[in-house]
Amino acid sequence: MPGSTPLQSQHRSKMAALSSPLRVCRGILKELRAIQGPSYKKSLAYNYVMDQFRKNKVTGERYCRAKQEAHHASHTYLCLLASTRNHLVLHNLYHGKGERSPEEVASLVGLRLPSQPGGKGWEK
């Protein structure tokens, strides 16, 4: 187990690929398309997001504070949309089906129930 490598730097390197504004913008648009369907370009969120990205592009200053703030905010919104979607997917997958039969439960963790030739006493 790599005890010496900080967890954060591993995750940071995974996130560095995400952190450019273009990627964040694309990510948000993907999420909006997942929400709204093909007409996502007409949605309120799409217009607002594109507006914000355009506005924050025009500044020439490199360490503009407003730009940093907008970038963090866009990253946060992308995280919100993606996490909500993933959480819902997992919820529907594991928690949304109500009572499962023993066979289904076993298959969830990759096991199979043993078959008993002749059936159990109460089965036909």
Helices (H) and strands (E) in the chain, counts: 5, 0
Q: Which residue, 16 or 113, is less far from another protein as judged by CB?
A: 16
Q: Which residue in 50, 108, 42, 101 sits closest to 74, CA to CA?
A: 50
Q: Which residue, 20 or 94, is less far from another protein as judged by CB?
A: 94
Number of residues lying near another protein (CB under 8 A): 41
Q: Are 74 and 25 in contact (CB under 8 A)?
A: yes
Q: Considering only residues 21 through 60, tell me which ones interact with another protein, judged by CB under 8 A.
A: 32, 35-36, 43-45, 48, 55, 58-60
Q: Are 35 and 81 in contact (CB under 8 A)?
A: yes
Q: Three-state SS for 114?
A: coil
User: Is 15 a residue that touches another protein (CB under 8 A)?
Assistant: yes
User: Is 66 a residue that touches another protein (CB under 8 A)?
Assistant: yes
The amino acid at 1: M
Say how many residues make up the chain: 124
Q: Which residue, 15 or 113, is less far from another protein as judged by CB?
A: 15
Cα radius of gyration (the chain): 23
Residue of the chain from 16, 80, 111, 113 that contacts another protein (CB under 8 A): 80
Residues near another protein (CB under 8 A) are: 1, 3-4, 6-8, 11-12, 15, 32, 35-36, 43-45, 48, 55, 58-60, 66, 68-69, 72-73, 75-77, 79-80, 83-84, 86-88, 90-91, 93-95, 108
